[in-house]
Amino acid sequence: METRANHLWVGLITLVLLAALAAFIIWIARLGQGQQNEYDIFYKQSVSGLANGSQVSFAGVPVGQVSEITLSEDDPEFVRVRVKVKEDVPILVGTTATIQASFTGVSTILLDGARKDAPPITCETTACPEGAPVIPPKDGGINALLNNAPLLLERLATLTENLNTLLGPENQDQISGILANTNRLTDELAQAAPRLEGTFTELEGALKEAGEALDAFEQATKTTDQLLNQEGPALAAELRGTLASANQAAASLASTLEDTRPAARVLRETTLPAAEATLQDLRTTSRSLRAITERLENEGVGALIGGQQLPEYEPE
């Protein structure tokens, strides 16, 4: 009986020592990890591959682990993943958490997106619905592809349906006609290729001649500019002299006309009326002479000496 009691005590003491050793080991492990901060991440997607103890990394550097995975108390559509991160890791506003899946089926949480001089994520800078600051989630990697898979499949189905409608029996004849017209157009282009080549050659020659004409025009423009720049002042001086001479001649002519105005007035008022009267007398004299001449021709000299000439007497 006493031997059995001794074995019982030995077993009990052994269990106590093992528990103490386990607690010591856990304490040593936590002591090696240092002080850690807790954060919550709410995912509206599947978190398959995550488990308690899954690794949490910051820009690829291991900084903590997953401590708890449960459904959200406020909204069961979300999965709350609580992580523990080393106190010296800068979890700042702008940091996001992405589930990084792998082909082995084991997932990790990747933290990134922290910005310099941003405040740390705490219950003062963000919400704490279940007692810990919240790090916003972010889709990425295979999870983003899986989340978008239904939308991609829907669009693929719509595209397939549209293709079936486009390639239906009622459109096949039209498509065949379009292909036939395309082949005919290609053949015509192939036949017209030599003519097109000749046309392009002529066009190239025309462009070359146009370039030469432009060069010649540019040279003429330069020559004209040189002429205007070098001989222009002399020509302008001569032109100014000519204009001055013309002004002097015009002034002299004006003076001459001014001097001839009295003579023109006398000519108009005296000489011209006298000349006109003289011309009138000359016309009258001319008419008289013409009358005398006609009488001499018709009646003889006697018509001028006196009376009318008697007719000659003829005896019976």
130-166 pLDDT, tens digit each: 889 999 988 765 555 555 666 777 888 888 877 777 7
Interval 239-254: pLDDT, tens = 777 777 777 777 776 6
Question: Is 60 exceeded by the pLDDT of residue 316?
Answer: no
Report the range out of 132-136, 170-174, 278-282 with the highest average pLDDT: 132-136
Give backbone dihedrals phi and psi of 76, rounded to 5 degrees, phi first. -70, -5
Residue in this structure with the two tokens 């941003």, named with its chain if needed:
118
Mean pLDDT over each residue of the chain, to the nearest integer:
75
3-class SS of residue 108: strand
> Of 79 and 170, which is predicted with more confidence?
79
Domain boundaries, the chain: 33-144
Q: What is the pLDDT of residue 41?
A: 92
The whole-number average pLDDT for the span 118-141 is 85
Question: Is 50 exceeded by the pLDDT of residue 266?
Answer: yes
**DSSP annotation of 134:** B
Give backbone dihedrals phi and psi of 34, rounded to 5 degrees, phi first. 80, -175
Beta bridge pairs of residue 239: none
Question: Is 50 exceeded by the pLDDT of residue 66?
Answer: yes
Question: Is 60 exceeded by the pLDDT of residue 268?
Answer: yes
Burial of 66 (0-12, 13-18, 19+ CB in 10 A): buried
Among 48-52, 65-69, 208-212, 271-275, the minimum mean pLDDT is found in 271-275
The whole-number average pLDDT for the span 169-176 is 73
Tokens standing for residue 260: 């001839």
The Cα 308–Cα 290 span in angstroms is 19
Reported pTM: 0.40
